Structure 1
Amino acid sequence: MTQTSVPDQKDGGATILEIGQQPDAWREVAGRSDEHAEAFVRDLLSRPELRIVLTGAGSSAFAGEIAAPLLRRHLHRRVEPIATTSIVASPLDHLEPETPTLLVSFARSGNSPESLATTALADQLVDQVWHLVLTCDREGKLGRAHADRPDSLVVYMPDRTNDSGFAMTSSLTSMLLTCLLMLGPAQSNQVEALARAAEHVAGLQDDIRALAQSKKQRFVYLGSGPLEGLARESALKLLELTAGEVVTYFDSPLGFRHGPKSVLDADTLAVVYVSTDPYTRRYDLDIIAELRSQLGADAVRVISAVPIPDEYGAALVLPGLDDLPDALVALPYLVFGQYLALFTSLDYGKTPDNPFPSGEVSRVVRGVTIYPMAGAR
């Protein structure tokens, strides 16, 4: 991406380009093959006692929350999403010295202090540990630290996914897709359906922009299973790009009723991500009916891979996804959340590539002190 190709901030800056490039980036990810990487993963997965920890900070942590349920069911082993920020603050609560562990690190730049500290703590505390580093920056510290280690595999995303904008967009989805292709049941021939669904969302930008112009003060995102991680990421994206000017919240449809529903008011927009699992979808439909009864139909947006019954109202149905698991449909669902965050940011007069021009919040976290853990074992 050249500097002259980037739209003005009032038109979305680099962020709108980085959202829009995702379908082609996913096709590029799916089209790659690496025999060494395949052998590395195959050897580790042959170990029945292997524990897999998916880690990252912020959006990178939420990628693990989306992927873990599907990987757990597919691999029939422990797969746990644990944020680097949790591991660094309390490593002995999360790292098991005697359990062979594959630590999967999601890291856009690989320069976050917690990312580097987490892999170092795992090396220090776990007897047998391997590292799979998924990152976008070939000059990043994490990738360079693990590049030549026999117990590590570093996989770089396509260069264009090293987002220059403040919020993670194509970097996040490319790392998540790579993880699901390498460790999960995802197949490269499924990626075309995901890419076309995302292109369908991109064709609805005028509608999403009009939704953002409603100037709601509160946004609630709901999803079950892997889609709860998606809801969390969608809420963060909107919070980041509006520089905290709007209140955002996420939960599962069932969990939302247990107190958090108190956040609803007349200025709330609710977004429900509908599961492709028929059993889980029943709970999604229940909360859709409840929210529309309370807030009105126009204050609830429903994103689904399958048509929903007429009595539950309108939904944005993304084509070609009805036979895919939730962790995969989360990718084009997320494109909707990214566009909604971007257009809401613009409507609030923010600069989406840098919503914090005075530096209160930075693209790569600064100011974190990492303390040595001497004598931990």
Structure 2
Amino acid sequence: MNATERGIREQFSLWNELDLKDVRLEPGRMQIVIGCGTSVHIADSIAATLNIQGHLARAVPGNEWTVRADNYAPPSVPVEVIALSRSGESTETVAAARKSHLNGIPVVAFTCAPGSSLCHEADRLVEAKTHPEEGIVMTASASLMLLMGLRYAGVSVGPQTTAAAEKLLATGEKFLPELIAGRTHFVFLGGGSLYGVAREAALKMQEMSLSQSEAHHPLEYRHGPISLIDDRSLVVMLYHPDTTSEEAAVVADVQSKGARVLGLGGPGDVSLDVKGEPLTEPLVCLPLLQLLGENVARMKGLDTLAPRHLTKVVTVA
């Protein structure tokens, strides 16, 4: 077992230690959730959950918010920025937080790096300790920032959810070898708050295993992307409780074209239940999706501690 896998398997105790320390959402402002790479995918799931909870929200890549904020929120609308960065040093995220701060916009930072540059640009701060062996690829830290966002949105996330995620990982990992055997094309489908996690799973697959991967809203997959499906495809359907029957029909479509399917919360060649407290499905699924990327990398003989062309922190002069 390498350090990446240990970080995935040993993250659950860190979830139970997380404390927002009374950092609360500021009502009456649109929530702009920013980040880069993994963080902006996690931001997407956080923003969707904020909207479900009655708080207008949108996820925006860091540099997009810096250079064209008016494309994402009208200047007349009061906003609060939630900035996500594991290292607290990602150039685009720090710059976006700094510009927001200078413009009088409240900034909340979610990070795993106390004392980092992002912390100095924030009015309020939520910090978490991530796994000590976490390398370039974000695993435990991604889950922790998603957990921060769910709690910030007012979702109850306690030991019941942690136990559900740990059980899903333990149950699902037994099926991973048969699911990935002979598969080179990986598709992740999820709607609503699950879409950001589907995007993150596709990114993990790219980073860890250098595999062709993509993410879509489930019913959008029929509108063009399904043309790539064949007997080399693995589709992971992240079922939304509101649309299980529609998503099951998409699964039947891709199965008829040769795909193998992992159904999380609904039908598939392998079907697994997703438990936990309400609105926690994205968090519960995330560790298993991380381990899926690690398993494909191992099958291909790749070291996830040294992913090609990547650095742990993206900084730009």
Q: What TM-score, normalized by structure 2, do the two folds share? A: 0.92
Distance 1:62 1:120 in 2: 21
The structure with the largest alpha-carbon Rg is 1
Task: In structure 2, give the amino acid aligned to 1:236.
Answer: L
* 1:264-279 aligned within 5 A: 264-277=229-242
Q: Does structure 1 retain, via aligned residues, the 8 Å contact 2:164–2:284?
A: yes
Give aligned-pair identity as a percent. Answer: 24
CA distance in 1, matches of 2:126, 2:156: 18
Aligned AA for 1:63?
Answer: I
1:129 aligns to 2:105 (yes or no): yes
The one-letter code matched in structure 1 to 2:162 is: A
Equivalent pairs counted in the alignment come to: 316
Could you tell me which residue of structure 2 aligns to residue 211 of structure 1? Answer: 179
Name which of 72, 75, 85 aligns with 2:51. Answer: 72
Contact kept in structure 2, 1:87 and 1:118, CA below 8 Å? yes
Secondary structure, counterpart of 2:257 in structure 1 = helix
1:236 to 1:163, Cα distance in 2 relative to 1, 3 A = farther
Distance in 2 of aligned mates of 1:109 and 1:162: 13
The 8 Å contact of residues 189 and 195 in structure 2, kept in 1 or not, is answered as: yes
Show the counterpart of 1:141: 117
**Matched residue type, 1:224:** G
Give the whole-Å Cα distance in 1 for the aligned partners of 2:227 and 2:168.
31
Q: Does the C-alpha gap of structure 1 residues 290 and 139 become closer, same or farther in structure 2, counting only changes over 3 Å?
A: same
Q: What amino acid maps onto 1:257 in structure 2?
A: R
**2:100, 2:107 within 8 Å by CA — same for their partners in 1?**
no
The C-alpha deviation readout for 1:89-135, integer Å capped at 9, x for no partner, is: 434423544432110011100111001110122234x4x41011000
8 A contact 1:133–1:143 mirrored in 2: yes
Distance 1:281 1:207 in 2: 22
Contact kept in structure 2, 1:209 and 1:340, CA below 8 Å: no
CA distance 1:161–1:276, shift in 2 (3 Å): farther
CA offset digits 1:156-197 (Å, max 9, x no partner): 11x23466322111111111111211232x124xx2222112
Question: Residue 335 and residue 59 in structure 1: after superposition, are their counterparts in 2 closer, same or farther (change >3 A)?
Answer: same
Q: 2:203 aligns with which of 230, 236, 241?
A: 236
Code of the residue aligned with 2:156 in structure 1: it is Q
Q: 1:84, 1:156 → 2: CA distance?
A: 19
Q: Which residue of structure 1 aligns with residue 311 of structure 2?
A: 362
Q: Classify the secondary structure of the residue corresponding to 1:207.
A: helix
* Corresponding position: 1:26 with 2:15: yes
1:220 matches 2:172: no
2:179–2:262: 8 Å Cα contact kept in structure 1? no
- Alignment correspondent of 2:252: 289
* 8 Å Cα contact 1:23/1:194 also seen in 2: no
The 2-side partners of 1:337 and 1:56 are apart by: 20
1:266 offset after TM fit, Å? 2.0
Aligned residue in 1 for 2:72: 94
Once the two structures are TM-superposed, the CA of residue 70 in structure 1 deviates from its matched residue by 2.1
Corresponding position of 1:260: 225
How big is each residue's C-alpha offset from its partner over 1:262-301, in whole Å with a ceiling of 9 and x where there is no partner? 2212211111111122xx22221111111122215xx111
- The one of 342, 345, 348 aligned to 2:297: 345
Q: Which amino acid aligns with 1:170?
A: A
Deviation at 1:22, TM superposition (A): 2.4
1:351, 1:82 → 2: CA distance? 31
Equivalent residue for 2:138?
Answer: 168
Check conservation: 1:215, 1:344, Cα contact below 8 A. no
Match of 1:302 in 2: 263
Q: Distance in 2 between matches of 1:275 and 1:110?
A: 32
Which of 93, 101, 114 is matched with 2:92 structurally?
114
- Larger helix proportion, structure 1 or 2? 1
Match of 1:53 among 5, 16, 32: 32
- Alignment check: 8 A CA contact 1:215 1:347 kept: no
Asked whether the 8 Å contact 2:179–2:234 carries over to 1, the reply is no
Distance across 1 between alignment mates of 2:139 and 2:6:
10
The match for 2:216 is 251
User: Following TM superposition, by how much is the alpha carbon of 1:33 offset from its aligned partner in structure 2, in angstroms?
Assistant: 5.8
What SS does structure 2 have at the residue aligned with 1:34? Answer: coil
**Structure 1: stretches of 5+ with no match in the other structure:** 1-10, 147-151, 370-377
Native 8 Å contact 1:219 1:269 kept in 2: yes
Distance verdict in 2 for CA 1:15–1:139, change over 3 Å: farther
Q: Deviations over 1:136-163 (max 9, x none)?
A: 01242211443xxxxx101111x23466
Where does residue 154 of structure 1 map in the other structure? 125
TM-score with structure 1 setting the length? 0.78
Query: Map of 1:191-210 to 2, 5 A cutoff?
Result: 191-204=158-171, 205-210=173-178
Letter in 2 for 1:271: V
Contact 1:95 1:122 in 2 (8 A): no
Counterpart CA distance in 2 for 1:89 and 1:361 is 25
